[in-house]
Amino acid sequence: MNTIPHWINGSPVPGADTAPVFNPATGAEQARVALGGATDVDTAVQAASAAFETWSESSLSQRTQVMFAFRRLLLDHEEELGRIISAEHGKTIDDARGEITRGREVVEFACGLGDVLKGSFSDQVSRGVDVHDFRQPLGVVAGITPFNFPAMVPLWMHPIAIATGNTFLLKPSERDPSAANFVAGLYQKAGLPDGVFNVVHGGKDAVDAILTHPGIEAVSFVGSTPIAKYVHEQATAAGKRVQALGGAKNHAVVLPDADLEFAANHITAGAYGSAGERCMAVSVAVAVGDAADALVAVLQRKALEVEVGPGDRPTTDMGPLVTKAAQERVEKAVGTAQAQGATVVVDGRGLKVDGHEDGFFTGPSLLDHVTTAMDAYREELFGPVLAIVRVDTLDQAIDVINANPYGNGTALFTASGEAARRFQRRVKVGMIGINVPVPVPMSFYSFGGWKDSLIGDHPIHGPEGIRFYTRPKVVTTRWPQPAQHLTAGFDFPTSN
């Protein structure tokens, strides 16, 4: 059986311990992955620290040339990487290609850093004195990433970190680890020097070693809110910069004036795409006023049309959940919702896919008459479960969203510009879609929510990514003429 190694200093490195990697569509173990700890992290940090000495002094042209070559390789190997992701995560190959595309957009942003990294210059701020500023890389930085986007989320981090002159240590999810090693190989083919990009696999031991290692300057994290809080607390206590993106409970509000067929199409895709295992999934539809009954009817029809199957089957809309435990947790949540008074309009429990009876499948579930006190509303289920909450007005819908502890993404379906403007100004959420169900920003904007969806102050990629992976310097310069005899004053210096 194949064992997936670490990738340190440009070479595969075996691990002393391993863990199973499953095919979610069959339920069968298909590989083993190395489990790293403090020793492996330290080895990777030493390699990254040595590489930083030369990489941080490389020209901007050299760094962007690597990024252009890396982008080309991502395009050339998109199908292969998509199949690797599908086999370990369970999502459809088309969905995997989509995440690679969105990650590649960040690489394209990194290719243009020559313009973004330009500093400013002020002439003659005082007599014979000029001021300019520039940004420098931090050193060795690390990323701890989740299973749900094994290519895209790391690509939100390391291209910007590397292009700005840092070296990078990635700790991907041990559930679908192969994409990280594949990307490491592409970087090497693109001409990235050994040690600039490293991969250490593992669980909590590897995470804790990263959070406390004195040679790591910054940590990027995407995952659940409790772990995001833990990462932020531990890493900041160790003196590191931290960007920690947590969980979500994303609402899509539907007004009576909306095109219900259009809204239901997009809400269905947003709720059940990737089996609901994404932090931007639509997990709550807020039906306003007269829209409710008609919306539920259309959503029921759409949910029943979703074809569930293995990710490599061309007709599949939704694949399995990533693990057996995830499948059991989601199906238990549907039962709990029913016991608490929700109406199960579509029940996805107990689904068996022919030829894949041991796979971790569950079908789409649609719950109506959900209240904000129910577990199905309060908890991030991270599965294909859509809850319907009914309210009378748009203002009530906004109040529901603002009372939720999460503030990652939200959407409004309407034909009213006034309603849209009121919604986007009043709602306490970081990313908003108007007739767009999954409002993930383009790479030249930054991704990040509010409240418990972002722990700390730093969203990811885009301009915020540049600021996170660099620190500024401001230089004040005077070049006096040799014949000048200037007397230094003892008062606080001014521009006079």
Catalytic residues: 279
Query: Which residues have C-beta within 8 Å of that of residue 149, sequence separation ≥ 6?
Result: 99, 103, 278
Q: What DSSP letter does each residue of 339-393 carry, written as one string? A: HTT-EEEE--TT---TT-TTS-----EEEES--TTSHHHHS---SSEEEEEEESS
C-alpha 97, offset from chain centre: 16
Coil, helix or strand at residue 56: coil
> What amino acid occupies position 486?
L
Q: What residues pair up with 251 in beta bridges, in sequence order?
A: 284, 410
Report the sign of the C-alpha dihedral through residues 328, 437, 148, 248, in that order: negative
Residue 428 in contact with residue 410, Cβ under 8 Å? no
Report the sign of the C-alpha dihedral through residues 400, 387, 224, 105, in that order: negative
Coil, helix or strand at residue 170: strand
Nearest to 104 by CA among 76, 131, 142: 76
Residue 47 in contact with residue 231, Cβ under 8 Å? no
Name the residue with tokens 């929700």. Answer: 342
Residue 233 in contact with residue 204, Cβ under 8 Å? no
Coil, helix or strand at residue 131: strand
> What amino acid occupies position 425?
R
Residue 151 in contact with residue 81, Cβ under 8 Å? yes
Query: Which residues have C-beta within 8 Å of that of residue 154, sequence separation ≥ 6?
Result: 103, 143, 145, 170, 172, 179, 180, 183
Please tell me the number of Cα atoms within 13 Å of 309 on its side-chain side.
12
C-alpha dihedral (179, 142, 241, 155), degrees to nearest 10: -30
Residue 119 CA: distances (Å) to CA of 113, 115, 131, 135, 305 = 12, 9, 11, 7, 54
